[in-house]
């Protein structure tokens, strides 16, 4: 107690003798704090931008090493298959994962863009119309991903810089030619300032691919989606209520209860057995029309959930299938089978293409899982689906000791609430051979 009293007395005496020194020290610390917060590349500044835009805080990964980060592992199969939404809450910080496959996946995406540009990128005429709500939603997603999420979550991998010729840009890793963005800078009108007249960072530097990208969305929605689809390994689908896409139809409250969401724009580089061009502009029920019993089991609950999902909440679900001889890009079939027989009665047999064990190429057989996330954009209130597709060699699943579990899950496609899933997932084709391998 005597020591504490002596310390307090000495502190008071110091302040009385040197008041100007104390004031100077406090002022210096305050000014230094203001200086740090005002720096364009400050993560704190970016985080505040995310919060001001209506997003939850994003946790930075300061020591992130993408080259040693393994892909997420999912084993979502169960003994019986039941068609449910199966949603769980998601932390915004994990919205866009990056792992050691990032660079090779981006190269694959670039090749798909060259071969199938109209398949992997889709925009309705409304979404291409500047000033429309759909066009604004594309812009909002673009600016969130490039201007907020990536530099916040992965500092050092994605950095905000003032211009392509800045010192930050010139010191980047020597992994390839940087994109020329000087023309885009002028065309996009990137000279934007905040209310406090501080100049915003205007370019995102990707230090893995050495690309400089404007953080403000280009005028063309297709161009914006092309950038999004080749800078992250995610597929994006943007949906809006029908009543907010076209002209008003009447009472807004009544429409909110019965409104249907329509697909207005997308990037799908890894479509799972369907051509997304055929889904563009269609409602959710129409999009899910091939899914067995969707209308009776999921349509109403999904419509209600979509209408009520609030800004700031992120959810996810994971599905699974087994693929044989199919790439990540599967726009023209190979993953889903015929489900026109709604009774679910068996129609199999070797004549229908049942694969024998001797015909199974184990090295070309995979467990395919889609991590699907959903959230609402704060400004336009559009809904955004993101899909990250993972493939795991069937050999790996067996080596993990999960062969019997997956074999039971394959049988469970016929024994669950929607037995037609056996046909929809093409279990009638590969099921016998894959089960034999897993149990062998």
Tell me the residue length of the chain: 440
What is the edge-to-edge ordering of all strands in the sheet holding 158-161? 158-161, 203-206, 211-214
CA–CA separation, 272 and 372 (whole Å): 13
Cβ neighbours of residue 245 closer than 8 Å, sequence gap 6 or more: 124, 126, 132, 133, 134, 262, 264
**The pLDDT value given to residue 130:** 95
For residue 104 the two structure tokens come to: 């090779």
Question: Could you tell me if residue 158 is inside a domain?
Answer: yes
Question: Could you tell me if residue 169 is inside a domain?
Answer: no
Give the ranges where 79-149 is alpha helix by DSSP (H): 102-115, 117-120, 133-144
Q: Is 272 exposed, middle or buried (0-12, 13-18, 19+ CB in 10 A)?
A: buried
265 φ/ψ angles, rounded to the nearest 5 degrees? -160, 155
First to last CA, the chain: 76
**The pLDDT value given to residue 244:** 80
CA–CA separation, 192 and 213 (whole Å): 15
Q: Is 186 exposed, middle or buried (0-12, 13-18, 19+ CB in 10 A)?
A: exposed
CA–CA separation, 151 and 145 (whole Å): 9
Question: Could you tell me if residue 268 is inside a domain?
Answer: yes
Question: Could you tell me if residue 171 is inside a domain?
Answer: no
Predicted TM-score (pTM) above 0.95: no
Question: Could you tell me if residue 308 is inside a domain?
Answer: yes
Domain that holds residue 428: 41-57+74-164+199-248+255-439
**The pLDDT value given to residue 163:** 66
- Dihedral sign, CA of 236, 70, 149, 108? negative
Cβ neighbours of residue 256 closer than 8 Å, sequence gap 6 or more: 241, 307
CA–CA separation, 306 and 208 (whole Å): 36
Question: Could you tell me if residue 206 is inside a domain?
Answer: yes
Question: Could you tell me if residue 410 is inside a domain?
Answer: yes
Please answer whether residues 349 and 357 qualify as being in contact, where contact means their C-beta atoms are separated by less than 8 angstroms: no
Q: Is 385 exposed, middle or buried (0-12, 13-18, 19+ CB in 10 A)?
A: middle
CA distances from 166 to 162, 202, 300, 384 (A): 7, 11, 53, 34
CA–CA separation, 117 and 115 (whole Å): 6
Helices (H) and strands (E) in the chain, counts: 19, 10
393 φ/ψ angles, rounded to the nearest 5 degrees? -55, 135
Please answer whether residues 408 and 434 qualify as being in contact, where contact means their C-beta atoms are separated by less than 8 angstroms: no
CA–CA separation, 53 and 39 (whole Å): 19
Domain count across the chain: 1
**The pLDDT value given to residue 259:** 79
Q: Is 367 exposed, middle or buried (0-12, 13-18, 19+ CB in 10 A)?
A: buried
Per-residue pLDDT of the chain in tens (440 residues, 90 and over written 9): 554 445 445 444 444 555 555 555 555 555 555 444 444 444 555 556 678 778 999 999 999 999 999 999 999 999 999 999 999 999 999 999 999 999 999 999 999 999 999 999 999 999 999 999 999 999 999 999 999 999 999 999 999 998 655 433 333 332 233 333 333 333 333 333 333 334 555 899 999 999 999 999 999 999 999 999 999 999 999 999 988 875 544 444 444 556 789 999 999 999 999 999 999 999 999 999 999 999 999 999 998 999 999 999 999 999 999 999 999 999 998 898 866 544 444 443 334 579 999 999 999 999 999 999 999 999 999 999 999 999 999 999 999 999 999 999 999 999 999 999 999 999 999 999 999 999 99
Question: Could you tell me if residue 221 is inside a domain?
Answer: yes
**The pLDDT value given to residue 282:** 95
Q: Is 7 exposed, middle or buried (0-12, 13-18, 19+ CB in 10 A)?
A: exposed
Cβ neighbours of residue 284 closer than 8 Å, sequence gap 6 or more: 239, 260, 261, 262, 299, 302, 303, 306
């Amino acid at each position: 107690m005597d020591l504490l009293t002596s310390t307090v007395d000495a502190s008071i005496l110091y302040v009385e003798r040197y008041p100007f020194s104390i004031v100077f020290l406090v002022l210096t610390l305050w000014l230094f704090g203001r200086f740090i917060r005002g720096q364009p590349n400050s993560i704190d500044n970016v985080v505040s931008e995310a919060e001001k835009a209506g997003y939850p805080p994003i946790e930075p990964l300061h020591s992130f090493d993408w080259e040693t980060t393994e892909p997420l592992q999912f084993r979502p199969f169960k003994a019986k298959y039941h068609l449910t939404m199966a949603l769980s809450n998601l932390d915004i910080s994990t919205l866009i994962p990056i792992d050691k496959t990032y660079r090779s996946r981006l190269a694959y995406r670039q090749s798909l863009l060259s071969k199938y540009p109209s398949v992997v990128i889709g925009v309705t005429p409304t979404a291409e119309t500047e000033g429309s709500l759909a066009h604004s939603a594309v812009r909002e997603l673009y600016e969130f991903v490039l201007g907020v999420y990536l530099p916040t979550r992965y500092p050092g991998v994605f950095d905000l810089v003032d211009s392509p010729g800045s010192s930050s840009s010139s010191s980047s890793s020597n992994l390839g030619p940087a994109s020329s963005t000087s023309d885009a800078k002028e065309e996009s009108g990137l000279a934007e300032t905040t209310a406090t007249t501080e100049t915003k960072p205007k370019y995102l530097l990707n230090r893995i691919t050495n690309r400089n990208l404007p953080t403000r969305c280009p005028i063309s929605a297709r161009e914006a989606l092309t950038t999004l689809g080749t800078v992250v390994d995610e597929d994006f689908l943007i949906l809006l209520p029908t009543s907010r896409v076209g002209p008003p139809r009447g009472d807004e409250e009544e429409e909110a209860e019965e409104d249907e969401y329509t697909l207005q724009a997308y990037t799908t580089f890894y479509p799972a057995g369907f051509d997304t061009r055929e889904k563009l502009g269609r409602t959710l029920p129409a999009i899910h029309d091939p899914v067995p019993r969707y209308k009776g089991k999921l349509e109403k609950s999904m419509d209600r959930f979509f209408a009520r999902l609030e800004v700031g909440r992120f959810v996810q679900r994971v599905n699974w299938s087994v693929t044989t001889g199919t790439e990540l890009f599967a726009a023209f079939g190979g993953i889903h089978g015929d489900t026109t027989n709604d009774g679910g009665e068996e129609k199999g047999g070797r004549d229908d293409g049942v694969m024998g064990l001797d015909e199974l190429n184990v090295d070309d057989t995979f467990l395919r899982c889609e991590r699907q996330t959903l959230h609402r954009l704060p400004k336009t209130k559009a809904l955004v689906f993101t899909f990250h597709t993972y493939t795991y060699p069937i050999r790996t699943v067996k080596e993990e000791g999960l062969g019997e579990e997956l074999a039971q899950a394959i049988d469970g496609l016929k024994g669950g609430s929607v037995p037609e899933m056996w046909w929809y997932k093409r279990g009638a084709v590969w099921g016998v051979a894959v089960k034999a391998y897993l149990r062998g």
